[in-house]
Structure 1
Amino acid sequence: MADPSLALQGAIYPRLQADCPSVSGRVYDRPPQAVVFPYIGLGESQTVDDSADCVDGVEVFLTLHVWSRAVGRVEAKRIASEVRSSLHEAELDLGANWHFHLIEHRSTTVMDDPDGVTSHAVITFRALIDAH
């Protein structure tokens, strides 16, 4: 059976491309060497078994990263807000193999990157999915 986190990534990628105008479509699984700022990076995921009687379910915890080189943290916070608005309680289609139940925002942390130039937002979500 396919990986539910991969199906989730496939569903959120085009949604972020469309719903986050501040990054002009710059949403990456792995950013290119000469990346243009700001952008969203699809980050870490963790899949945890959430099975019950007759249900093959999982919880997927997904981390997204926002990177900005604008002065201050305002741009990073604005983009993080766009990400949250796009995905929190969204209806997603994960294809024929998975039944999507929900995705919810868990936390957002905005910080300065150690390079002293870049602002970084870390946004986490939790999704509930089970197999068809």
Structure 2
Amino acid sequence: MSLAFAPTQKAILDRLRGDGNITSLLNKADKQSGIYDYVTESTPYPYVVVGEPSIDPFGVKNNDVADLTVTLHIWSNYKGNSEAYKILSAVHEAFIYKLAVTGYKTIKTSYSDARVFTDIDGIHRHGVFTLKISLEKEK
């Protein structure tokens, strides 16, 4: 199976940026709607970053199937956890339905981890949502 990183990242970005519940909670200083795959130190809070993908391939008879996980990072500078909790909940809701990934049949969309913690700087809240997508390469 070819690595599905690029089409999966695009599908995730499109889903997040197209979800009004999420974008209404984020900084909308630019056309990215507070959802990025790269940020600088000057990126205004709150925002979501589509982070690290990993893939676990396995064959099923003649089919190429893989479980792809992608870590989504929620960043907030709100004093307390409630802003990060709201964004994390909205992200969760956005992925209740299967994600359409170009060139692949999506078997299942789920998640394996969701949490919020205070960053090492003691100021920022960092939410982590690990999205899991089971994909089969289209023939």
Superposed structure 1 runs of 4+ greater than 3 Å apart: none
C-alpha distance in 2 between matches for 1:91 and 1:103: 5
What residue is the counterpart of 2:42 in the other structure? 34
Matched, 1:116 2:122: yes
Give the CA deviation at 1:33: 3.7
- 2:133 counterpart residue number: 127
Q: Which runs of 5 or more residues in structure 2 are unaligned?
A: none
TM score, norm. by length of structure 1:
0.91
For the residue of structure 1 that corresponds to 2:18, the secondary structure is helix
| TM-score (norm. length: structure 2) | 0.87
1:106 aligns with 2:112: yes
Tell me by how many angstroms 1:51 deviates: 1.4
> 1:50 corresponds to which residue?
58
Tell me which residue corresponds to 2:25: 22
Give me the whole-angstrom Cα distance separating, in 2, the residues matched to 1:22 and 1:15.
15
Q: Find the partner of 1:91 among 98, 101, 104.
A: 98
Distance 2:2 2:10 in 1: 12
**Deviation, structure 1 residue 41:** 0.7
Query: Any idea what SS the aligned residue of 1:78 has?
Result: helix
Question: Aligned residue pairs: how many?
Answer: 130
Q: 1:80 and 2:83 equivalent?
A: no
Give the SS at the match of 1:81: helix
Partners of 1:102 and 1:8 in 2: how far apart? 13
Deviations 1:21-54 (A, max 9, x none): 2114111111134101000011111100121111
Q: Distance in 1 between matches of 2:114 and 2:62?
A: 35
Q: Please, which runs of 5 or more residues in structure 1 have no aligned partner? A: none
Identity of aligned residues (%): 25
User: Counterparts of 2:60 and 2:42 in 1: how far apart (Å)?
Assistant: 46
Distance, in Å, in 1 between the alignment partners of 2:72 and 2:101 is 18
Q: For residues 44-72 of structure 1, what are the alpha-carbon distances to aligned partners after superposition, in whole Å with 9 as ceiling and x for unaligned?
A: 11100121111111100111000000110
Structure 2 Cα separation of the partners of residues 127 and 117 of structure 1 = 32
Question: 1:59, 1:129 within 8 Å by CA — same for their partners in 2?
Answer: yes
Give, in whole Å, the separation in 1 of the partners of 2:77 and 2:18. Answer: 22
Question: Quick check: 1:12–1:87 contact (8 Å CA) kept in 2?
Answer: no
